[in-house]
Structure 1
Amino acid sequence: MLGELNSKQIEHILHSSIIGRIGCHAEDITYVVPVTYAYDGTHVYGHTKDGMKIDMMRKNPIICFEVDVIDNMSNWRSVIAWGTFEELKTPYERKNAMNILMDKVMPLMTGETTISHSMSDSHQSTIESMKGVVYRIELTKKTGRFEKT
């Protein structure tokens, strides 16, 4: 059975997932890229290095955001949302966003593509030492679909 997710189901998927995909478009190029994120009910928060997605979102801040949960090919849920990218530049905004992000993803960080820190490092010192671009995306429209057998 195919169907539409209700708003409560959409919110649950956005809150419970940590990997989503940003779709952005600038200068006749469309780019879709996976990102680690945290969601607070209004905004998706992320942290990255300067690169193609940041360059494109700076040029055109209107983006699409997608999250899916796939059990198998006949049992899945998908959320697609639209919103506006905003780069966070003040120390307060960056710290607040990184606290939201780190609270969500820190327990899952184990690989070499994640932040490396010793067991003695505090959560706060990790946040304060972070370089790169901190951003948020205000989600203004959300839809969701599912298939269940």
Structure 2
Amino acid sequence: MSMIADLEPVKCTGLLVDNYVGHLAYIADNEPHVVPSTYFFDEDRKCILCFASNGHRINALRKSNKVSFQVDSIESFRHWQSVQVHGTFEELTGDFAKQCLKRFADGVQRTIDHKNAERPHFLSHFSGKLQEAEMPVVYRIAVTKIIGKSVEDFT
């Protein structure tokens, strides 16, 4: 028998810390959009760090800053966990954006090393000093709410 249950806050945080790919949901032109996104959950600052190039997503987030971010761990149909974060998009600039981009890259690398996964090629771009022209748009999602659900098969 399977049962859906609320995920305890510490387990929600653990799922966010232990992963680096989630799905960002946002509104553009009165339409919902969901895109996969590499992220780092900054547990100390209670935010999700991300980056993107200027384009559809960033333009939409600048106009409507309320977002959701979902991270899942799915072992099977009867054994999964899912966390949804509600928050606010905040574009970062200048030296603070560079610091957060480095924090993002280091955090994602630590998560990947912990999981013994392959290093994404884009991380090497962040190891040196970036010029302003090369900088992607760095942003954070300031967390306002975290909810989680899980299913376990008890048969």
What's the TM-score, normalizing by structure 1?
Answer: 0.86
For 1:89, the aligned partner's letter is T
CA offset digits 1:57-113 (Å, max 9, x no partner) = 11100001110000111110000111000111122x1122112211122364645xx
Of 58, 65, 73, which residue of structure 1 is paired with 2:77? 73
Aligned equivalents of 1:16, 1:90: Cα separation in 2: 29
Partner of 2:51: 47
Q: How many residues align?
A: 141
Unaligned ranges ≥5, structure 1: none
CA offset digits 1:28-77 (Å, max 9, x no partner) = 11110010000112110011111221111111000011100001111100
CA contact (8 A) 2:101 2:126 kept: no
Unaligned ranges ≥5, structure 2: 113-117
Name the % identity: 28
Residue pairs, 1:1-149, within 5 angstroms: 1-41=3-43, 42-91=46-95, 93-106=96-109, 108=112, 110-111=119-120, 114-115=121-122, 117=124, 123=127, 125=128, 128=130, 130-149=134-153
CA contact (8 A) 2:105 2:126 kept: no
Aligned equivalents of 2:119, 2:25: Cα separation in 1: 26
Question: What is the DSSP-based 3-state SS (H/G/I as helix, E as strand, rest coil) of the residue aligned with 2:61?
Answer: helix
In structure 2, do the counterparts of structure 1 residues 50 and 122 end up closer, same or farther at CA, with 3 Å as the change threshold? closer
CA offset digits 1:95-134 (Å, max 9, x no partner) = 22112211122364645xx3274xxx993x1x53552111
Question: What is the DSSP-based 3-state SS (H/G/I as helix, E as strand, rest coil) of the residue aligned with 1:141?
Answer: strand
Deviant stretches of 4+, over 3 Å: 106-111
For 1:137, the aligned partner's letter is I
In structure 2, do the counterparts of structure 1 residues 106 and 2 end up closer, same or farther at CA, with 3 Å as the change threshold? same
RMSD: 2.0
